[in-house]
Copies of this chain bind each other. A is one copy, B any other.
Amino acid sequence: MSIPPEIFMLPPHSEATLQQQIQQIVSDAIMSGRCVTGEKMPSSRRLAAQLGVSRITVTLAYTELVSNEYLVSRDRSGYFIADTAPKRPSFREVDKSQSGGVDWDGILARRPQPRQNIARPPNWPDFKYPFIYGQSDPELFDHRNWRDCSLRAVGRRDFDTLTRDHYQRDDPMLIEYILRHILPRRGIRAEPDEILVTMGAQNALWMIAQLLLSEGQKAVVENPCYPGLRQIFDQMGFVASSIDVDEDGLPPDQIPADANLVFTTPSHHCPTNITMPLDRRLAMLKGALRDGYIIVEDDYEFEMSFLSSPAPALKSLDQAGSVIYVGSFSKSVFPGLRLGYVVAARPMIEEMRKLRSVVLRHPPSHIQRTAAYFLSLGHYDAQITRMARSYAKRRAVMEDCIKGFGLTLGTREVHGGSSFWMRAPEGVDTMKLALDLRADSVLIEPGNAFFARRAPDASHYRLAYSSIDSGRIRQGLELVAERLDEGAT
């Protein structure tokens, strides 16, 4: 006799297609031991009736299950659970979730705790006015071509080479296009063995800190700065010296002579978007040679400059090789991609390659190849152009409203980025402001996360326009202005 169709039920809410769902409930029934080898499946007609789906859908699912060797089909007599179907394990399961005994909290207590990142609700897309930073805008992303490139990258020809482990080598196609398409735009020329692909800029900064900082050495960071960088030091149990930026960014004359490593974001300082003037860049390079420190340039959002031509990267002025250059595709393609790169002197790249291999082997080959196609076919450049144009438009609306509603910039005029660094009126706590605004369906980023612990700051906040439609900016900022008026009174 055959398995009663009643034991099969479709999951209440599933992302999968009906056919997929049927394949899943059948394989689950086998894995869980509810159906065993030799048993006869209900006819497609009866199962279709039970599940309330079309008979063809069930037949298609059965066919797929046969090719996956869960089922066998016997002419005229129907479908049976195959003896090649995975067996349920003979031993009993232990419910780990009930267990205890080991004092994990005690064991882990010694761990240094990295500070919180910028607070952002996971459901941010449900907010009407999301002035949040660094999330991709589905409207601007060239999904069609990314999909096409992803498909190419998983094609047979590429695939056989990509499925292998490459501890040492990055995708030569990606490296070539970074060298030929991206670095030239920053005035940087490098050789293939002077570049390493990383899991985004965060991963690059982490590796650099791991390799170049040891007990008793001095690292310098900008204050305020990218919170992810502070998290790295926290995790290492390392204390970095913070230097306050002024209206021209990091002041080179403030860098202590005994510094070993200096982290900076000259193109657009994070989070103020200030572009460091040329004389400061040259002074920094001079200081690096004089005092023997290494400069880490996070070339943060250079694509989003609205000047006629972006300022050259610090690295492009670096004759001596003091600069380690960090680039990323997270802002310009999408954050979930986790793909960035480092340009540095050969010995440094070699060490990073070794460290990367021990920590994670290498970034997944398919992602590298997909990005390589996206770059090589010009989709990347086209997308940057599109984004820059749309950001420029949003930026104009933002500037207009910021003036109109009497909001205060936290810096002098700046020319790039995808956000404004703002200062709230005396007495306003921007943490509280951000929480209050959530009630109005407005998201802003309180500035405190960017500052050194010794100098907590409640007066600044960031307004990003990379994820909000220009049509919603005015109303969103109006709500910010209203809350600020309440707060100030």
Contact = CB atoms under 8 A, between A and B. Distances in A.
A154 interface: yes
Contact of A338 (B134, B235, B363): B363
A423 interface: no
B105 A347 contact: yes
Given A31-B181, A345-B104, A378-B70, A89 B165 contact: no
Contacts of A163: 136, 138, 141, 334-337
A134 B166 CA distance: 12
Contacts of A85: 381
A358 interface: yes
Interface in A237-251: none
Interface in A392-435: none
Contacts of A334: 163-164
Nearest to A368: B336
Contacts of A348: 104, 108
A64 interface: yes
Interface in A24-52: 24, 27-28, 31-32
A211 B114 CA distance: 13
B366 A150 contact: yes
Given A24-B376, A319-B101, A376-B20, A206 B165 contact: no
Candidate in A67, A159, A173 with the most chain B CB atoms within 10 angstroms: A159
A346 B164 CA distance: 33
Interface string A375-387: 0111101101110
A184 to B, nearest CB: 6
A189 B94 contact: yes
Contacts of A203: 359-361
A355 interface: yes
Contact of A122 (B64, B138, B169): B169
Contacts of A489: none
Nearest to A345: B104
A99 B338 contact: no
A53 interface: no
A158 B162 CA distance: 24
Contact of A187 (B27, B68, B89, B319): B89
A315 interface: yes
Contacts of A336: 162-166, 364-366
A186 interface: yes
B214 A94 contact: no
Interface in A277-312: 289, 294, 309-310, 312
Contacts of A358: 114, 202, 206, 228, 231-232, 234-235
Nearest to A260: B107
A382 B64 CA distance: 11
A96 B385 CA distance: 28
B108 A15 contact: no
Interface string A159-187: 11011111101000100000011001111
A351 B106 CA distance: 13
9 contacts: A27-B378, A31-B184, A94-B317, A94-B319, A108-B348, A117-B167, A135-B164, A164-B335, A232-B358
